[in-house]
């Protein structure tokens, strides 16, 4: 902590400013995570949200989990099968 404190004093920053700068670099994401942006049809987003809610997940976590399973070649789970059925409607 002394090294950080000395560095903070040299730069004239307060501890809270230092913490804010660290958070800004990470943009509030967990370490090792990358934010991406994609465009999806509204009806697909609504279906994803419904399925995520059924699994008690947020949209981002639901999509990331299922993309990871897809990339790993894991057999679709029951909710994913429901997603396929909903897609046909």
Residue span of the structural domain in which 1 resides: 1-34
Together in a domain, 6 and 20: yes
Mean pLDDT value across residues 30-42? 91
Question: Is the per-residue pLDDT at 1 higher than 50?
Answer: no
Q: What is the mean pLDDT of residues 21-34?
A: 69
CA–CA dist 5, 19 (Å, integer):
12
Number of domains in the chain: 2
Q: What share of the chain in percent tops pLDDT 70?
A: 52
Max alpha carbon distance in the chain (Å)? 63
**Domain check: are 89 and 46 in the same one?**
yes
Least confident of 34-38, 39-43, 78-82: 78-82
Determine the average pLDDT of the residues in 5-26: 54
67 vs 16, which has greater pLDDT?
Answer: 67
6/19 same-domain check: yes
Asked whether residue 46 falls in the same domain as residue 71, the answer is yes
Give, as one character, the DSSP assignment of residue 59. Answer: H
Q: Is the dihedral of CA 72, 76, 78, 83 positive or negative?
A: positive
Does the pTM surpass 0.75? The reply is: no
Q: How far is CA 83 from CA 2, 26, 33, 49, in A?
A: 54, 33, 25, 11
Q: Report the Cα 17 to chain-centroid distance in Å.
A: 25
Element (H, E) at 31: none
């Amino acid at each position: 902590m002394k090294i950080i404190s000395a560095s903070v004093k040299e730069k004239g920053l307060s501890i809270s400013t230092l913490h804010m700068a660290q958070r800004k670099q990470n943009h509030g994401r967990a370490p090792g995570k990358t934010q991406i942006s994609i465009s999806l049809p509204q009806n697909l987003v609504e279906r994803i949200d419904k399925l995520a809610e059924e699994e008690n997940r947020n949209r981002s976590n639901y999509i990331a989990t299922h993309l990871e399973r897809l990339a790993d070649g894991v057999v679709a789970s029951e909710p994913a099968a429901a997603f396929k059925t909903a897609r046909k409607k």
